[in-house]
Structure 1
Amino acid sequence: MLPSVNATVFRTALGQFATGVTVITGLDGDDQLGLACQAFSSLSLDPPLVLFCPGRASTSWPRIRRSGRFGVNVLAEDQREVCEAFGSTSAPKFDAVGSRRTPGGTVVLDGVLAWLGCTIEAVYDGGDHDIVVGRVRELRVERQDGPLLYFRGGHDVPVAALTPSRR
């Protein structure tokens, strides 16, 4: 039998993996909603599917889920304050950045690297998170510079710091 995994060591080990940072957006009626999310990934090219994993304690996710659709906003390295605002449970999130709605209804944040508009295909149990699979219905690349990264518990990691030097 395997010993149980220590939560602190588990978090430290997974912190060695750099992830990009996204903000998941959506609507509840006319109310714009959003949450910061590092647990995002592409899933399939055909059909075009992505996944993200919101925490079960999120107050925004249940409201977004009811709509059946969500947006994924890929943050740029100069958008740390946006990430902090959308990661907060008390800050007025949309005061940190401008936004617009696409003709398809996706809430897109200003200044993001790229965005995707998705419909919810499936939601699975993922322990203290949900695993949400979305079908991409619309998307656009807005910028070509570096992404905001989450690494070892923080966001102050330039992409160049993760690239080994070639000698």
Structure 2
Amino acid sequence: MDPSVLRAAFACFPSGVTALAGLVHDKPAGMAVSAFAAISLEPPLLAASIQRTSTTWPTLRGAAALGVSVLAEHQGDVGRRLSERGDRFTGVDWTTSGSGAVFIRGAAARFDCTLHQEVPAGDHVIALLKVEALEFRPATRPLVFHGRGFRQLA
């Protein structure tokens, strides 16, 4: 199957945009993740799909805690920044929890997680994350990724 055709078909499905981040050597490290899903209530698990070629994940997976921030509709610039190479946190308003999870301020929801398990999945790895703590703002609209671009809910 032609990967560009498959990618175009996948782009028909809208998804939220999350930041997956933690402290590594006392500095924030992280990435944008749009392939993200709630998996289980007991135990509380989330899943993030990460490319095997990621240069961030091998470092991030060793963090004591991982923060998942569901980006708000006004945070498209943060989503782009976290998708780039280099220092992704310059100009990004972030904070940490006591566990060392890194969160984006103003996000619609924040999940303080630990790595539960990694599952190989083709050219990706699925990181199963156990939710240790959370907070959310239901009135805050999420950022949506659709058709290879950021969108807002109408």
Q: TM-score range, shorter-chain basis? A: over 0.9
Q: Figure out how many residues of one structure are paired with residues of the other and give that number.
A: 154
The answer as to whether partners of 2:16 and 2:143 remain within 8 angstroms in 1 is yes
Could you list the per-position Cα deviations for residues 41-79 of structure 1 after superposition, in whole angstroms to 9, with x for gaps in the alignment?
A: 000011110000111222221111122531101001100
Q: Is 1:6 equivalent to 2:2 in the alignment?
A: yes
Could you list the per-position Cα deviations for residues 96-154 of structure 1 after superposition, in whole angstroms to 9, with x for gaps in the alignment?
A: 32211112322111111111011111101112211100110011014622111110111
Match of 1:94 in 2: 89
Distance 1:123 1:68 in 2: 15
Match of 2:26 in 1: 30
Match of 2:139 in 1: 144
Q: Which runs of 5+ in 1 are unaligned?
A: 161-167
Q: Specify the SS of the correspondent of 1:89.
A: coil
Q: Is 1:58 equivalent to 2:54 in the alignment?
A: yes
Match of 1:159 in 2: 153
Match of 2:102 in 1: 107
Q: Is 1:20 equivalent to 2:20 in the alignment?
A: no
Q: Specify the SS of the correspondent of 1:132.
A: strand
Match of 1:164 in 2: none
Q: Higher helix proportion, which one?
A: 1
- Structure 1 stretch displaced more, 119-128 or 75-84: 119-128
Q: Higher strand proportion, which one?
A: 2
Q: TM-score, normalised by structure 1?
A: 0.86
Could you list the per-position Cα deviations for residues 11-49 of structure 1 after superposition, in whole angstroms to 9, with x for gaps in the alignment?
A: 111111000000100121212101011011000011110
The answer as to whether partners of 1:26 and 1:70 remain within 8 angstroms in 2 is yes
Greater RCO structure (CA 8 Å; 6+ sep): 2
Distance 1:18 1:96 in 2: 27
Q: Specify the SS of the correspondent of 2:50.
A: coil
Q: Specify the SS of the correspondent of 1:95.
A: coil
Distance 2:63 2:91 in 1: 24
Distance 1:32 1:143 in 2: 26
Q: TM-score, normalised by structure 2?
A: 0.93
Q: Percent identity?
A: 33
